[in-house]
Chains A and B, each alone.
Chain A
Amino acid sequence: MTDKRHSILFWSGFAIVMALLFVSPYVLPPFWQRFLTEVLIWGLLAMSSDLLIGYTGMVSFGHSAFFGLGMYGAAAALLMFTPSLVLALAFGLIGAAVVSAFVAYFSTRLRDIYFAITTLIFSQIFYVIIFTWTDVTGGENGLNFPRPRLGIPGIWSEPFTATTLHWFVLVVVAGSYLILRRITQSPFGMVLQSIRENEPRTRAIGYPVERYKIMAVMLSGLFAGLAGVLYALQNRFAAPDFVFFLISGEAVIFNVMGGIGTLVGPILGAGTFLLLRELLGRIFGENFPYLIPLGFIFIAIIIFMPQGLLGFARRWLNR
């Protein structure tokens, strides 16, 4: 296929998916509408970690810290000032950027399992700080805060509804996807992929590998923080549980389930995981230990679909 045809196919597919997601609030019952919005948010978190796992070859367990700090940054803005969407976004992104710069500076000096463990330890340090610094963070109980209005400061504003919140999240997630896609296809993204394939050779060619890795961790952390801000806007609370490393583990699971190194795959993985969890609970009842079959499904995906659901879908559709 020619590049032009690729492009037409991609943008047609993108437009169809966007249109379906756009009209979903009119079709889905309220619970499932909210569920879909949440899938998009978790999908953004998973997509942000895909930049590291899939494109740079670095498995991070620190994404819960970036996600959580984005959430607490937004909470700080919404509690300290008159609730403002712009301030919530700005504070959340600044919080995530500062933390990711700090984590990136120390952890990118290490590789492989050492990098993963360092990011995990950093996320646990932030968890303990947030858990015990009750006066500021609310400790174990977290923080509740009002939801800001949707709008452009000084021009127009209106309260968020479930539908407008869904559209807002959709726009942010789709925009993030396009930016991340552009990044991965840029020369910078090619260097990241080169680091993933052969780090010593990339260094030998003359690329400052550490600097590229720091940039990758920071970018990834920034988008994870953005997901944290969206979660805070949707749920109006921030809790230390979201900084706990299990959230990073879930992001890795979403990646593996959906397809590493595809950007779209992690969103699909998040959707599949959350949908399976919800449906298993509904079909078999509240006391059903859904994590056991979910675990088997995950293992089956790793064994029979090593490229994830998206990789499997590609092969199946093109057979």
Chain B
Amino acid sequence: MSDDRRDPQDFWYNGKTTRRRVLGYGVSAGALGATMLVPAPWQAAFGQAKPYKIGTSQPLSGAGAAGGKTALVGVQMAVDRINKSGGINGRPIALEIVDDESKPDVGRRKTEKLLVEDRVDAHVGGFLSNICLACMPVYEEHKVVNMIGVCLDTTITTSRCNRYTFRPFDYAPSQAVAFAPELVKMGKRWHIAFADYSWGQSTRDAYAAEIKKAGGEIAGTTGIPLGTADMTPFLSRITGNFDGLFGIFFGRDGVTIGNQAFDLGLTKKYKWAGDGAIAESTNIPALGRKIEGFVGINRYLPVFDAPMNTPHHKRFFDDAKARLKQIDPSGPDPDRYVQSNYEAVNALKLGMEKSKFRGREDTNKLIEALEGMVMKEGDDFPQGDKIMRKEDHQAFLRQFIFRIDGGKPKIVNVVDGNKTLFPPACRFG
């Protein structure tokens, strides 16, 4: 280390070459090579009929692990149901699960593995938007359909859209279109508090534009860095003459703002509304009484008020609840992540049936079948009807405006999917 000139002398081999040593090298190299080249036996054959290989990439470890495991429940529910009912086009689904570890570089590498080694026919999943965006070019390169499960970033189906990626659930602009008239009825002037990163910023812009379009005003905006444990310094600066406070947060940040805005009296002084992620069913126990009266918007609510009082929603709910109990003994209600992943697999199934999909060679036919595809409310789509827009591969579906009442969301208004339309802003390369 101290004298680099000696390195070659020390490093390059000058010992004896024996038969035992050569054999040792050979065996080691062979074992390593076999591990690299030969797929593990449990990844091989799946029954008599050649199964469709569907890949799913989820964050099963790292920052997004809790949500990723929930999302995977939705995928597995749909796959099990399809396999029990005879598969797709008579062929079962073999699910290849990879953990993206909540990191874009790992997600990218695992996606390569799914596409190059496992040779999946299509992919369903993706939880964190930054990982979805990092992996989208890989699906495009390998010409494989990528059905997004959770990623909400607006640009996925706008400025960074691609022909192989579909989003079978909503995005911020369509929720803003649906929610803004209701918000303006609640109050004219709004202050927006948002998670200060790409999703929060793009959602803020969408709501600001739609509130103005609906005749309201934006009194101000406050960005709070992601993961801020003490939001008091930011929230204490929110004062002035406005009618309502609108929050754009999710996960732990949703719990933090719910609790701290209540403690500072903001939710009493002003009308309190926001993205449905703040009062997601998994957050409500941590928010307790403090979230009472919150008005939000969500594509899925685990309730049985009309129009969710259907037998197919009941079946979905019961199955999801039982499976979620296996990963979380407290037995949480299913949330929109379970719903969107469940329906994403079913959307793919519907497209594969319509296109008589055989494998990757039929990817173009599958894309054509998915473009403009109408999904009807039923066991496959318990959330409700939806349509996959051809121009940007963005789905439009009904939205539920709800109020938290007695610790539970109560539906106060249902906005039909065709009233959530937002002009397409995608150009496929």
A contact set with B: CB distance below 8 Å: 1, 6-7, 9-10, 13, 28-32, 34-35, 38, 54-55, 131-132, 134, 138-142, 144, 184-185, 189, 193, 197, 235-237, 239, 241-242, 260-262, 264, 279, 281-283, 286-287, 289, 307, 310, 313-314, 317-319
Contact = CB atoms under 8 A, between A and B. Distances in A.
Given A184-B4, A262-B7, A307-B1, 15 more contacts: A6-B8, A29-B116, A55-B4, A132-B196, A140-B226, A141-B130, A144-B160, A236-B137, A237-B134, A237-B137, A262-B11, A279-B36, A281-B99, A282-B35, A318-B14
A144 B136 contact: yes
A144 B137 contact: yes
A140 B129 contact: yes
A39 to B, nearest CB: 11
8 contacts: A7-B8, A31-B116, A32-B36, A139-B201, A235-B108, A241-B104, A279-B36, A310-B11
A37 B312 CA distance: 49
Interface residues of B, number: 48
Contacts of A134: 197-198, 201-202
Given A141-B153, A197-B2, A286-B97, A237 B9 contact: no
Helix, strand, loop or mixed for chain A's interface?
helix
A311 to B, nearest CB: 8
A8 to B, nearest CB: 10
Contacts of A287: 60, 99
Contact of B109 (A1, A6, A38, A189): A38
Given A134-B197, A140-B199, A286-B98, A241 B12 contact: no
Nearest to B99: A286
B103 interface: yes
A55 B116 CA distance: 40
A6 B117 CA distance: 42
Contacts of A313: 11
Contact of B1 (A30, A32, A260, A282): A260
Interface in B147-172: 153, 155, 160
9 smallest CB-CB distances across A and B, nearest first, come from A139-B198, A261-B1, A10-B8, A9-B12, A286-B99, A6-B8, A140-B197, A31-B116, A317-B13
Given A239-B130, A318-B13, A141 B99 contact: no
A185 B4 contact: yes
B1 A54 contact: yes
Interface in B1-42: 1-2, 4-5, 7-15, 35-37, 40
A85 B422 CA distance: 38
B80 interface: no
Contacts, number: 123
A319 B15 contact: yes
B133 interface: yes
Contacts of B2: 193, 197
Contacts of B4: 55, 184-185, 189, 193, 261
B105 interface: yes
Contacts of B61: 289
Interface string B91-115: 0000001110001110011001100
A140 B409 CA distance: 31
Contacts of A35: 109
Given A141-B129, A237-B134, A314 B99 contact: no
B98 A140 contact: no
Given A144-B160, A241-B103, A318 B15 contact: yes
Which of A29, A235, A261, A289 has the most C-beta atoms of chain B within 10 angstroms of its own C-beta? Answer: A235
A10 to B, nearest CB: 4
A54 B4 CA distance: 11
Nearest to A240: B130
B273 to A, nearest CB: 24
Nearest to A277: B106
A193 to B, nearest CB: 7
Given A141-B198, A142-B133, A144-B136, A31 B8 contact: no
Which of A30, A32, A140, A279 has the most C-beta atoms of chain B within 10 angstroms of its own C-beta? Answer: A140
Contacts of B198: 134, 138-141
Nearest to A236: B137
A31 B108 CA distance: 12
B197 A13 contact: no
B356 to A, nearest CB: 29
Interface string B61-105: 100000000000000000000000000000000000111000111
A248 to B, nearest CB: 15
Given A10-B8, A134-B201, A31 B35 contact: no
A35 B108 CA distance: 11
B104 A314 contact: no
Contact of B104 (A34, A237, A264): A237
Contacts of A317: 13-15
A290 B329 CA distance: 25
Contacts of B137: 144, 236-237
A138 to B, nearest CB: 7
A142 B136 CA distance: 13
B71 to A, nearest CB: 14
Nearest to B133: A141
A31 B15 contact: no
Nearest to A6: B8
Contacts of A9: 8-9, 12
B395 to A, nearest CB: 20
Interface string B169-211: 0000000000000000000000000001111011000000000
Nearest to B40: A282
A31 B7 CA distance: 33
B112 A31 contact: yes
Nearest to A42: B105
Interface string B383-411: 00000000000000000000000000000
A7 B5 CA distance: 10
Nearest to B43: A282
Given A54-B1, A140-B130, A193-B2, A6 B11 contact: no
A242 B10 CA distance: 35
